[in-house]
Amino acid sequence: MRVGIWGGSGFVGGELLRILLRHPDVEVTYVASKEHEGEYIHRVHPHLRGISGLVFGAYDAGIASSKCDALFVAVPFKQALQDVPRIVSSGIRLVDLSPAYRLRNPDDYLPHYKIVHPQPTVLADFVYGLPEVNRNEIKGSTKIANPGCLATAALLAVKGFVETMEQTGELIIDAKVGSSGSGSKASPLNTHAVRYGVVRAYKLGNHRHSIEISSYLCNHHLEHVHVSFSAHGVNMVRGILVTAYLTLKEPLSEGEVWKILRQTFAEEPFIRFIKDRSGGFRLPDPKLTLGSNFCDIGFELLPDGRHLILVSALDNLVKGAAGNAVQCFNLMNGIKEDTGLNLIPIYPA
Catalytic residue numbers read 149
| H or E segment to which residue 202 belongs | strand 199-202
Q: Kindly tell me which residue out of 131, 181, 291, 323 binds ligand NAP, with binding defined by CB under 6 A.
A: 181
Can residue 74 be called a binding residue for ligand NAP (CB under 6 A)? Answer: yes
Distance CA 269, CA 140 (A): 20
Residue 6 or 265 having the CB closest to ligand NAP: 6
- Contact (Cβ atoms closer than 8 angstroms) between residue 340 and residue 19: yes
Can residue 184 be called a binding residue for ligand NAP (CB under 6 A)? Answer: yes
Residue 133 or 309 having the CB closest to ligand NAP: 133
Residue 38 or 251 having the CB closest to ligand NAP: 38
Can residue 57 be called a binding residue for ligand NAP (CB under 6 A)? Answer: no
Can residue 316 be called a binding residue for ligand NAP (CB under 6 A)? Answer: yes
Distance CA 78, CA 111 (A): 16
Q: Kindly tell me which residue out of 4, 13, 129, 340 binds ligand NAP, with binding defined by CB under 6 A.
A: 13
Can residue 33 be called a binding residue for ligand NAP (CB under 6 A)? Answer: yes
* Residue whose Cβ sits closest to ligand NAP: 10
By CB under 6 A, the count of residues binding ligand NAP is 27
Residue 65 or 316 having the CB closest to ligand NAP: 316
Number of Cβ within a 10 Å radius of residue 22: 13
Q: What's the closest the beta carbon of residue 42 comes to ligand NAP, in angstroms?
A: 15
Q: Which x/- pattern over 130-169 shows residues binding ligand NAP (rule: CB under 6 A)?
A: -------------------x--------------------
Cα 51 off chain centre by: 25
Residue 146 or 225 having the CB closest to ligand NAP: 146
Specify the DSSP class assigned to residue 146. P
Can residue 9 be called a binding residue for ligand NAP (CB under 6 A)? Answer: yes
- Contact (Cβ atoms closer than 8 angstroms) between residue 65 and residue 58: no
Q: What's the closest the beta carbon of residue 144 comes to ligand NAP, in angstroms?
A: 13
Can residue 11 be called a binding residue for ligand NAP (CB under 6 A)? Answer: yes
Segment near ligand NAP (CB under 6 A); pick from 68-76, 137-145, 190-198, 212-220:
68-76
Distance CA 159, CA 146 (A): 17
> Exposed/middle/buried for 319, CB within 10 Å: 0-12, 13-18, 19+?
buried
Q: Kindly tell me which residue out of 42, 48, 76, 119 binds ligand NAP, with binding defined by CB under 6 A.
A: 76
| Bridge partners of residue 10, in order along the sequence | none
Can residue 17 be called a binding residue for ligand NAP (CB under 6 A)? Answer: no
Cis bond before residue 345 (omega within 30° of 0): no
DSSP string, 275-333: --SSSS--S--GGGTTTS--EEEEEEE-TTSSEEEEEEEE-TTIIIIIHHHHHHHHHHT
Q: Kindly tell me which residue out of 65, 141, 179, 180 binds ligand NAP, with binding defined by CB under 6 A.
A: 180
DSSP string, 35-91: TTTTSBHHHHSGGGTTT---B-B---HHHHHHH-SEEEE-S-HHHHHHHHHHHHHTT
| H or E segment to which residue 210 belongs | helix 210-219
Q: Kindly tell me which residue out of 29, 52, 79, 333 binds ligand NAP, with binding defined by CB under 6 A.
A: 79
Can residue 85 be called a binding residue for ligand NAP (CB under 6 A)? Answer: no
Residue 11 or 265 having the CB closest to ligand NAP: 11
Segment near ligand NAP (CB under 6 A); pick from 4-12, 61-69, 186-194, 214-222:
4-12
| Bridge partners of residue 32, in order along the sequence | 6, 57
- Residue ranges in contact with ligand NAP by CB under 6 A: 7, 9-13, 33-36, 74-77, 79, 97-98, 149, 180-181, 183-185, 316-317, 320-321
